[in-house]
Amino acid sequence: MEQENQIIKRNIPRDLFLHLLAVVTLYWSAVSFVTLLWQFINSFSPDALDAYRGDYMLSLIRFNVSAIIIVFPVFIAVSWYLNKIYAKEAVVRESKIRKWLIYLTLFIASLVIIGDLIFVINAFLGGEVTVRFILKALSIILVAGIIFGYYLDDVRREIPTKLAKYFAWTTSVLVSAVVVGAFFVIGSPTSVRLAQFDQQRVNDLSNIQSQIVNYWQRKEALPNSLADLNDAISGFKAPTDPQTRQPYEFSVKDATNLSFELCANFNKFSQNNKDITKRAFPIAGVPDSYNQNWDHAAGRVCFERTIDKQLYPPLNKTK
C-alpha cells in the first residue's frame, strides 16, 4: 500500500500533464474536424450570402487543416502512451485526475448534443429545413456522439480494451479523409500561392484605377502612361506585377470619352468567376465603388473602364 501511494505521488505531475494534454488535443481536434465539415458543406452547398465570404471560408479551412495535422497526431500519441502506462500501472487508470477529465468530457459532449438538438428543432419550427442545415446539425451530433459513446464505455471499464485501438484507427481514417478533401477545396500550396499572386494583381489594378480617376479629376486628362501617376509627394509609384516584376499594361482607348484599359497576365481563373469572358466591362452609370468587376480568366486579361464625368467631375469644378 505504501509503495502504491509512492507511485501515485511520484506520478501525479506526469498524469496531470498527459491527461490534460489528451483532453485539450481531443477538444481541439473535434472542433477543427467539425469546422472543416461545415466549410465543406458551405463549399458544396453554397448559400447566396456566402458569396462574400469565400476568402474567409478558405482561410478557415487552411487554419483548421494546419491545426488538425499537428494536434490530432499529438492526441493519438498521448493516448497511446497513456494506454501503455495503464498496462504497467493500473492505479493510474483509476486516478481521480483521469476520471474527472473524462466526466468533464462527457458533460461537454452531452451539452453539445442537447444544444444541437434544441437548435435543430428551433430551426425546424422556424421553417429552415435545408440539406445544408441538416448536414451541419448531423456533423455535430456525429462527432459529439462518437466522443460521448467511446468515453462513456471507457470510464466504466477497469482495464483497457481493444476498443481504444478501433477508436484510434477509425478517427485517424476520418481525419485523414477530411484533410485530403480539404486540399481539393483550397488547392495545393503551389496553387494557393499562384492565386495569391492573382489577388495581388487585382489589388494593384484597383489601386491604379483609383489613381487614374484621381489624375483625371485633378488635371482633366488621362495619363499617357502609368509613369505619369508617380507622385513623389504622396509617395505613390505605379506597382509592377508581383510575380514577373513587369509593369502592367495601360492604354487610352478614347481620350474624349475617358475610356482606358488595364491589362495583366493571371495564373488562374478567379474564384468568384461564373461566366467569364476575356474582357470585363463596367455597368454604365454605376460608380466604380459598386462596379469592381475584376473576374478574370487565366492568361492575359484586359479590363476596360470609362470614367463618368458626372460621377467624377474635375475637382476645380466642384469648388
pLDDT digits (tens, 9 = 90+) for 45-81: 766 555 545 667 788 888 999 999 999 999 999 989 9
Residue type, 107: F
Same domain, 45 and 33: yes
Same domain, 219 and 273: yes
Same domain, 201 and 155: no
Residue finishing a domain among 117, 152, 187: 187
Same domain, 183 and 207: no
Q: Which pLDDT score is estimated for 1?
A: 46
DSSP 8-state symbol, 286: S
Same domain, 168 and 260: no
Same domain, 32 and 61: yes
Same domain, 175 and 210: no
Note the pLDDT tens digit of each residue in 158-211.
776 777 788 888 899 999 999 998 888 877 788 888 888 999 999 999 999 999
Residue finishing a domain among 187, 218, 234: 187
Q: What is the pTM of this model?
A: 0.67
Confidence of residue 276 (pLDDT cuts 50, 70, 90): very low
Same domain, 300 and 226: yes
Q: How many helices and strands in the chain, by DSSP H and E?
A: 7, 4
Q: Which pLDDT score is estimated for 54?
A: 62
Same domain, 23 and 147: yes
Same domain, 160 and 231: no
Residue finishing a domain among 187, 202, 224: 187
The radius of gyration computed from the CA coordinates of the chain, to the nearest angstrom, equals 29
Q: Which pLDDT score is estimated for 241?
A: 94
Tell me the average pLDDT of the chain. Answer: 82
Residue 276's domain comprises 191-317
Q: Which pLDDT score is estimated for 292?
A: 61
Same domain, 132 and 233: no
How many domains does the chain divide into? 2
Same domain, 109 and 144: yes
Parallel, antiparallel, or unpaired: how do β-strands 299-306 and 259-266 relate?
A: antiparallel
Give Cα separations from 204 to 51, 286, 294, 302, 314 (angstroms): 22, 21, 11, 14, 24
Parallel, antiparallel, or unpaired: how do β-strands 299-306 and 279-280 relate?
A: parallel
Residue 196 has a CB neighbour count (10 Å cut-off) of 13
Q: Which residue has the higher pLDDT, 45 or 291?
A: 45
**Per-residue pLDDT averaged across 15-19, rounded?**
87
How many alpha carbons lie under 13 Å from residue 222 in its C-beta half-sphere? 22
Note the pLDDT tens digit of each residue in 239-269.
999 999 999 999 999 988 999 999 999 998 8
Give the burial class of 175: count Cβ atoms within 10 A of its Cβ; 0-12 exposed, 13-18 middle, 19 or more buried: buried
